[in-house]
Amino acid sequence: MKREILLLGNEELYQISEPVKPDEIETLKSVVQDLHDTLMDFREKYHAGRAIAAPQIGVKKRLLYMFIDKPVVFINPVLEFPDNEMMEVLDDCMSFPNLLVKVMRHKRCRIKYLDMEWKEQVMSLEGDLSELLQHEFDHLDGILATMRAIDNKSLIIKK
């Protein structure tokens, strides 16, 4: 079911999400479906959107959903950075669809997570996918891209 995406300024977006427990995996299936449906609806409206975090639809769990070539569910993800190389990017967000924010992100990251079978997985990412997962991971800790803006001139309205 398509859910409402919480928008910039909603206090719920600034809360830290709780870890998913093993006995919650069955109830997560409907949340994952809602994340998928919400992401696809956003894509249809805005022609953008590759991933979404559960807190963006009001679910305070450490859960991310990415759909690029195929769906990937990240349960209780942990980010690691293999080096300190950074890149400047214009970050966008489904919680503020007409705003771009200039931020610095790690060029490479490694994400450890559990899949829907509760099996440990690891994925190494670089460039735009590294930025994407860092952005989504921030949502789990109540951090928005606006809070990472390089300076007070780093906000841009999309036309």
pLDDT in tens, 97-126: 999 999 999 999 999 999 999 999 999 999
139 annotated among ligand-binding-site residues? yes
Strand locations in 115-159 (E): 120-126, 155-157
- The predicted model scores a pTM of 0.96
Residue 159 clears pLDDT 90, i.e. is over it: no
pLDDT band at 141, cuts 50/70/90? very high
**Start-end of H helices in 9-112:** 25-46
The residues annotated with a catalytic role in the active site are: 136
* pLDDT of 53: 98
Please report, rounded to a whole number, the percentage of residues in the chain having pLDDT higher than 90: 98
H or E, element range at 89: strand 86-93
135 annotated among ligand-binding-site residues? yes
pLDDT band at 52, cuts 50/70/90? very high
- The tokens for 120 are 């440990």
- Is the distance from CB of 96 to CB of 124 less than 8 angstroms? no
